[in-house]
Amino acid sequence: MDLDFKIVNIVATARFRGTIDIELIKMTPPNGFTLEGFNEKKKLVELSIKKKIQDDRSLRKRKPTHTPKEKEIRIRVKVFERVINVFGATSIEEIRDIVSRILSHAGIDVSTASIKVVNVVVITEIGRKIDIYELSKKLPSQLAPDIFPGLIARVPNSNNMGNISFLIFSTGKIVILGASSMEKAIEAFEKIKDKVIEATLQ
């Protein structure tokens, strides 16, 4: 079974040499960025930048001759004096561009920046309904339908998967959380794939 995997969110942290003038970023945000908040005590400026992406819901419903619709999302950025945190990007290139624009605006050498991915959120569709009650018996998991509509699961007997977990829905949608890359997310899913397929409904 060949599946398509898509990154929907990357959380990353950038460190660099030098100190950002937080007051400067607050008073004159970089071009294209919107000021969302300011915390003087923490010396933190919260920014956002708009991004247009293809609306997958319209893609599933559209006729072949129709142009897929776009939706607008905001990538959130927390700027500290020595650290930049990015939430909501979908590629490392996008994160590098955001960090570079902020550092350049602050007069800091972009080449000193080091970016670390903290979390990659990946989604896929199995293409079948899943019996999440049956699956909950086969994986280390939590199932509380009155609180959350999906199964929260982990890879069984695996210490090298870190904090990777899965949100598995009866519709066939699967969200992979906690990976450091797309490759790690797919590697983790491969370890539970057979059990997921066994629990699918024809």
Q: How confident is the model at residue 167 (pLDDT cuts 50, 70, 90)?
A: very high
Burial of 167 (0-12, 13-18, 19+ CB in 10 A): middle
**CA-CA distance, 175 to 161, in Å (whole number)?**
15
SS3 104: helix
CB-hemisphere CA count at 13 Å for 108? 25
What stretches of the chain adopt beta strand conformation (E)? 5-15, 33-39, 44-54, 70-79, 83-89, 114-125, 129-130, 141-143, 151-154, 165-168, 173-179, 200-201
CB neighbourhood size of 22 (10 A): 19
**CA-CA distance, 169 to 129, in Å (whole number)?**
8
pLDDT at 37: 97
**CA-CA distance, 67 to 196, in Å (whole number)?**
34
Q: Per-residue pLDDT tens for 95-118?
A: 999 999 999 999 999 999 999 999
Burial of 168 (0-12, 13-18, 19+ CB in 10 A): buried
Q: Per-residue pLDDT tens for 58-101?
A: 445 445 556 667 778 899 999 999 999 999 999 999 999 999 99
pLDDT at 58: 41
- C-alpha 119: how far from its chain's center? 6
**CA-CA distance, 201 to 67, in Å (whole number)?**
33
Nearest CA among 145, 143, 146 for reference residue 154: 143
